[in-house]
Amino acid sequence: AAASSSDSDSGRAESNEANSKWLDAHYDPMANIHTFSSCLSLADLHGDGEYKLVVGDLGPGGQQPRLKVLKGPTVLTESPLPALPASAATFLMDQHEPRTPALALASGPCVYVYKNLRPYFKFSLPQLPPNPLEQDVWNQAKEDQIDPLTLKEMLEDIREKADVPLSVQSLRFLQLELSEMEAFVNQHKSKVIKRQTVITTMTTLKKNLADEDAASCLVLGTESKELLVLDPEAFTILAKMSLPSVPVFLEVSGQFDVEFRLTAACRNGSIYILRRDSKHPKYCIELSAQPVGLVRVHKVLVVGSTQESLHGFTHKGKKLWTVQMPAAILTMNLLEQRSRGLQAVMAALANGEVRIYRDKALLNVIHAPDAVTSLCFGRYGREDNTLIMTTRGGGLIIKILKRTAVFVEGTGEVGPPLAQTTKLSVPRKTRLYVDQTLREREAGTAMHRTFQTDLYLLRLRAARAYVQALESSLSPMSTTAREPLKLHAVVQGLGPTFKLTLHLQNTSTARPVLGLHVCFLYNKALYALPQAFFKVPLLVPGLSYPLETFVESLSSKGISDMIKVLVLREGQSAPLLSAHINMPVSEGLAAA
Amino acid sequence: MAEVKLGMKTQVPASVESQKPRSKKAPDFPIVEKQNWLIHLHYIRKDYEACKAVIKEQLQETQGLCEYAIYVQALIFRLEGNIQESLELFQTCAVLSPQCADNLKQVARSLFLLGKHKAATEVYNEAAKLNQKDWEICHNLGVCYTYLKQFNKAQDQLHSALQLNKHDLTYIMLGKIHLLQGDLDKAIEIYKKAVEFSPENTELLTTLGLLYLQLGVYQKAFEHLGNALTYDPANYKAILAAGSMMQTHGDFDVALTKYRVVACAIPESPPLWNNIGMCFFGKKKYVAAISCLKRANYLAPFDWKILYNLGLVHLTMQQYASAFHFLSAAINFQPKMGELYMLLAVALTNLEDIENARRAYVEAVRLDKCNPLVNLNYAVLLYNQGEKKSALAQYQEMEKKVNFLKDNSPLEFDSEMVEMAQKLGAALQVGEALVWTKPVKDPKTKHRTNSGSKSATLQQPLGSIQALGQAMSSAAAYRKILSGAVGAQLPKPPSLPLEPEPEPTVEASPTEASEQKKEK
């Protein structure tokens, strides 16, 4: 059965190969591209109908940020960036011919705009308004009205209460030691208090026309929990909206001048939906985990969460469906096949799969050689439907969707789970078992009786032995009312001299015990003790008294024996307690 | 445009040479939040190594001022199990920005994970002051109060969490509290609402199905379990419960195929092997049944239900000595069940230990409230011993129970049992026919009407209901939180009174045989 199943498996894999919807156009495991889906963009940068791939590359370990432009499998241009790119986007700035799109790279507090791959404009985020109180305090310091210590106290006070956070300068100052304060104040007091924020995410929004080649505004999400919409030509701020948390992913639809919808997935695990003319979110979706991707398919918002699942929501925030993934989602993007009017979601998983879903129906699974960390789909070169993926190790994979390929639902998992066909492993019974069963049927009564008799005998013996132990005080615990005692012994050493320590404890709650003796019984041919009989001091309740004695092993033949310890009361012949100590074999030679 | 210095490569606070263009006297400070976005992206991708590297860099550059970096570092510590360290870091965050409820929430969460529920509630209450409309705070407060056994407070908090925002988790927690308080109906209400809110959550569907099962509402139970299985065909909890219901209806083969899936998912589940064993028992494959039950017993040696089933199967196999051991073991774990004593008595009768059998019967009669079989079997024993009077008393007791059961439920009685009762009635009633005809007739007619269409339906249901109780306990055991408490509810559900009935078949036949011998 195993052989046949493996046959059918391989058969399926082969047919997959043949029926695959994708052509492998290019795979370079050493392409050295480390980036996120938000830093990938496809655009006809030169207006020659040949689409290029723009990559905001973070470099290995995020150390060498570069702007790369790829044409086909080769890198066309490569230029170093001043800081790590958070997002890359291509957009048309104006309606002039030739219609070459501009390239925007968000990095730190700035957006760098390139045209024809040449630096064209730099937009910087406006400064955030500083806390007026903080400004006041520093002004006073500037005029030497207050000493550094007072300054520190006042700043701490502001930090406790104010809604506006302190500037870096003040925060730094608060960390300083007393000795460093003076110098710091002198150095910095003349500076204007500044609060700068950074861009966390960026996307584009059509300005006033829905056409493919209409001018678009840039939409920026900032660390100060704001969304900004920039004018495509003048780069002035057209609109400003505030969010309850820092945006991570943005999704837009509509046109700025007509009606639009902004969806922002935020760091607090919520997704906020804003509309034109609303300064604050209109709807809120609370996920119970962090979102890892946000894609809009027609009117459905598809969100991937860290709980290894995809959720579908309406544009008003109502949950539609949930699909579980076999592994953690790394990144997501939209797949749009215009020729067939198909929109679907691609989700790259940690197990190297890229899954394509239309709503909750699985359309296709691509097995990548490494975990895919960023992907995008669109026109590349002169090919309409190209899928570009980069992997964790920095590889670049380009696949082309076959023109004949049609995605059909239901190619995913259907029918009963595979496990249902495996056989149950019922434990087998032996011939012997069957024979015994037959015997029991024939002689059940006799077996039962024998067993019961033996059981009673066993219990009787156990009881007898117990009574005997109690009567002769053989146990190491004494529970008589007058002398509740506990004894345990430890033997230390390798021999021939051992140290024997008896721990004797009076377990009564209040009464001390007096007049006890300890006596050792041993074979005199084998062991020698300095004192075989001694008096025990008064035992205070609760304390453990260590009583030490040395034992000399006399035999050189490696024989060991038992030493009996008896605890006696003065004037009584029966011991209160007794312990049997099995002496270890002496490892050293007896003193010759 | 390259004027902004790339601060990260140099660990010297990016100030020394970078600010020339701005011509400032004093050095500028790097933006503290510069790489928060990168930290976050690495974090949600679960790429913790890369995340830690960026955090380290950013903390060095900002001299520990970047609150978000510390925050994520603390989250990662917590994921790695270093809860104490993470707690300290969260507290640092709370110092850096005291107005932020998020930090307090995380401090409370760490306290919660450390088991300091009281302290956690205090911090959560503190956070609630800063942010009053946060369902998470309300929900977590509810969870904390649950652990502190302050169920009323917990319910209040969870309800307010639901008002702020609906989440499956809150529903589940609320349902659990109702279960802890033993209020099955309210729990079902909550789960119903939850299923309405998220109709595709298999955990909710399964739990609701199991609750209906406990109440004996089999139609609804099957409906919900079936729904759960459509969304997730490999949901073993639902399969186990649905399988046990199939057993109830005698679909042993279908149940067995379903159990294969479970056997792949959790091959070491005692209830699974118990149910498989009882399937084989239903198919009269006794050796397979015994080996499966023994595996179940090996996996859960202290489960009396498995021992009970083992005793039952061994009685069927006429291995009375073995049956005796399993049953007495079961009695040690569950000393309050009349049927167990009755089975023990049957075993003892067959081992010719009449005196002890009688004692067991006395105990069984004392403990049992509604099973007529106990009295019938006892009556047979007494009759066989020639004690007609006591037999008569037991017989009357049985009639009472039969009448009571007939009045209260549409259950049919096992045909063997009815036949046996008639025979005994006939043997006992010599001369007093009038008294006996009536009660005897009743079961008879009932039996006749039903027997044509549904012969012997009773026996199977019983066997599997036993198994079903098992399935429930298993499902309860797999709940991650508060499993013990949920499991503890088990003995209550009405499935138990029905449970004993597997015995009738097994049990009545041996006694019957012995009686016939005597009569001849």
Determine the average pLDDT of the residues in B410-421.
74
- Mutate which of B9, B37, B71 to test chain A, going by most A C-beta atoms within 10 A? B37
Q: Strand runs (DSSP E) across B35-138, as ranges?
A: none
CA atoms within 13 A on the CB side of B270: 22
Cα B376 to chain centroid, rounded: 34
How sure is the predictor about A348, in pLDDT bands with cuts at 50, 70 and 90? very high
In a domain, B131, yes or no: no
Q: Which residue of A has its CA nearest to B63?
A: A172
Please give the order of strands across the beta sheet that includes A383-391.
A22-28, A396-401, A383-391, A372-380
How much is the pLDDT for A167?
Answer: 79
Beta bridge partners of B340: none
For residues A56 and A89, the answer to whether their CB atoms sit within 8 Å is: no
Quick check: B102 and A427 CB within 8 A? no
For β-strands A319-324 and A383-391, DSSP reports them as unpaired
CA distance A246 to A223: 6
Angle in degrees, CA B489, B495, B500, rounded to 5: 115
| Whether the predicted pLDDT of B400 surpasses 50 | yes
CA distance A177 to chain B (A): 14
CA distance B45 to B59: 21
How much is the pLDDT for A61?
Answer: 75
Cβ contacts (< 8 Å) between B135 and chain A: which residues? 286
Q: Strand runs (DSSP E) across B192-256, as ranges?
A: none
Residue B343 belongs to a domain with what CATH number?
1.25.40.10
In a domain, B325, yes or no: yes
How much is the pLDDT for A474?
Answer: 67
Q: Do the interacting molecules here have an ipTM over 0.90?
A: no
Output the CA torsion A371→A374→A378→A381 (10° steps): -90
DSSP string for A476-491? SEE--SS--EEEEEEE
A316 at interface of B, judged by CB pairs closer than 8 A: no
| Whether the predicted pLDDT of A545 surpasses 50 | yes
Q: Which residue of B has its CA nearest to A184?
A: B26
A417-426 burial, b at 16+ Cβ within 10 Å, e below that, comes to beebeeebeb
3-class secondary structure for A505-528?
A: EECCCCCCECCEEEEEECCCCCEE
CA distance A252 to B31: 28
Measure CB to CB from residue A61 to each of B53, B135, B321 and give the nearest one: B53
* Number of domains into which chain B is organized: 1
φ and ψ of A550, to 5 deg: -95, 145
Quick check: A306 and B169 CB within 8 A? no
A118 at interface of B, judged by CB pairs closer than 8 A: no
Per-residue CA distances from B492 to A317, B220, B410, B414 (Å): 42, 20, 21, 25
In a domain, B212, yes or no: no
- Which residue in B293, B321, B275, B337 sits closest to B473, CA to CA? B275
- Domain span at B420: 305-431+465-482
Asked, as a colleague might, if the bond just before A132 is cis with ω within 30 of 0, I would say: no
Determine the average pLDDT of the residues in B359-363.
90
Quick check: A448 and B260 CB within 8 A? no
For residues B475 and B206, the answer to whether their CB atoms sit within 8 Å is: yes
A289-326 pLDDT, tens per residue? Answer: 889 999 999 889 999 998 888 999 988 888 888 888 88
Q: Which tokens belong to A329?
A: 């989602």
Residues in chain B: 520
| Whether the predicted pLDDT of B64 surpasses 90 | no
Neighbouring CB atoms inside 10 A of B430's CB total 8
A35 at interface of B, judged by CB pairs closer than 8 A: no
For residues A581 and A518, the answer to whether their CB atoms sit within 8 Å is: no
Q: Which tokens belong to B411?
A: 């259950």
Quick check: A82 and B291 CB within 8 A? no
The H or E element spanning position A259 is strand A259-266
Q: What is the DSSP letter of A128?
A: B
Residue B63 backbone zone (phi > 0: left; psi -120 to 50: alpha; other: beta): left
Measure CB to CB from residue A322 to each of B9, B63, B200 and give the nearest one: B200
- Mutate which of A167, A171, A370, A430 to test chain B, going by most B C-beta atoms within 10 A? A171
How much is the pLDDT for A414?
Answer: 52
Q: Strand runs (DSSP E) across A22-137, as ranges?
A: 22-28, 40-43, 52-57, 66-71, 74-80, 87-91, 102-107, 110-115, 118-124
- Mutate which of A198, A426, A432 to test chain B, going by most B C-beta atoms within 10 A? A426
CA distance B247 to B107: 50
Measure CB to CB from residue A416 to each of B168, B233, B295 and give the nearest one: B233
| Whether the predicted pLDDT of B486 surpasses 80 | no
Determine the average pLDDT of the residues in B437-460.
28
In a domain, B169, yes or no: no
CA distance B307 to B272: 14
Quick check: B34 and A168 CB within 8 A? no
Residues 6+ apart with CB under 8 A from B99: A162, A163, B130
Angle in degrees, CA B350, B354, B360, rounded to 5: 95
CA distance B93 to chain A (A): 13
In a domain, B473, yes or no: yes
Residues 6+ apart with CB under 8 A from B245: B213, B218, B221, B222, B225, B464, B468
Least confident of A552-561, B385-394, B461-470: B461-470
Quick check: B26 and A223 CB within 8 A? no
Task: Say whether B520 sits in a helix, a strand or coil.
Answer: coil
A203 at interface of B, judged by CB pairs closer than 8 A: no
How sure is the predictor about A557, in pLDDT bands with cuts at 50, 70 and 90? confident
Residues 6+ apart with CB under 8 A from A342: A335, A336, A358, A407
Q: Which residue of A has its CA nearest to B201?
A: A322
B285-325 pLDDT, tens per residue? Answer: 888 899 999 999 999 899 888 999 999 999 888 888 889 99
The H or E element spanning position A237 is strand A237-242
CA distance B233 to chain A (A): 6
CA distance B515 to chain A (A): 19
Beta bridge partners of A499: A492, A550
Residues 6+ apart with CB under 8 A from A178: A148, A149
CA distance A49 to A61: 35
CA distance B292 to chain A (A): 6
Beta bridge partners of A124: A110
CA distance B213 to B498: 13
The H or E element spanning position A391 is strand A383-391
**Which amino acid is residue B166, in one-letter code?**
K
In a domain, B119, yes or no: no
A163 at interface of B, judged by CB pairs closer than 8 A: yes
Determine the average pLDDT of the residues in A389-412.
83
Cβ contacts (< 8 Å) between B167 and chain A: which residues? 286, 288
A440 at interface of B, judged by CB pairs closer than 8 A: yes
φ and ψ of A310, to 5 deg: -110, 135
In a domain, B331, yes or no: yes
Question: Average per-residue pLDDT in chain A?
Answer: 84
For residues B321 and A447, the answer to whether their CB atoms sit within 8 Å is: yes
Quick check: A306 and B35 CB within 8 A? no
CA distance A363 to A374: 20
CA distance A463 to A494: 39
How sure is the predictor about A331, in pLDDT bands with cuts at 50, 70 and 90? very high
**Which amino acid is residue B266, in one-letter code?**
I
For residues A358 and A412, the answer to whether their CB atoms sit within 8 Å is: no
**Which tops the pLDDT comparison, A157 or A259?**
A259
CA distance A194 to chain B (A): 10
Neighbouring CB atoms inside 10 A of A393's CB total 15
Q: What is the DSSP letter of A336?
A: E
Neighbouring CB atoms inside 10 A of A322's CB total 19
Range of B22-31, B149-158, B245-254 with top mean pLDDT: B149-158
How much is the pLDDT for B465?
Answer: 31
Q: Which tokens belong to B113?
A: 């994970």
CA distance B156 to B488: 25
Determine the average pLDDT of the residues in A124-142.
82
For residues B457 and B504, the answer to whether their CB atoms sit within 8 Å is: no
CA distance B178 to B156: 13
Asked, as a colleague might, if the bond just before A496 is cis with ω within 30 of 0, I would say: yes
Determine the average pLDDT of the residues in B218-237.
84
pTM, to two decimals: 0.68
Determine the average pLDDT of the residues in B65-87.
87
Task: Say whether B170 sits in a helix, a strand or coil.
Answer: helix
Location of structure tokens 């139970």: B221
**Which amino acid is residue B290, in one-letter code?**
I
CA atoms within 13 A on the CB side of A575: 21
How much is the pLDDT for B326?
Answer: 92
Cβ contacts (< 8 Å) between A290 and chain B: which residues? 43-44
| Whether the predicted pLDDT of B362 surpasses 70 | yes
For residues A265 and A291, the answer to whether their CB atoms sit within 8 Å is: yes
Per-residue CA distances from B365 to A312, B407, B414 (Å): 60, 21, 20
CA distance A235 to chain B (A): 16
Q: What is the sign, positive or negative, of the torsion defined by CA atoms of B300, B305, B306, B310?
A: positive
In a domain, B390, yes or no: yes
Beta bridge partners of A491: A500
What are the start-end ranges of the H helices in A216-298? Answer: none
How sure is the predictor about B4, in pLDDT bands with cuts at 50, 70 and 90? very low
Q: Which tokens belong to A501?
A: 């320590």
Determine the average pLDDT of the residues in A213-229.
89
Measure CB to CB from residue A319 to each of B32, B198, B320 and give the nearest one: B198
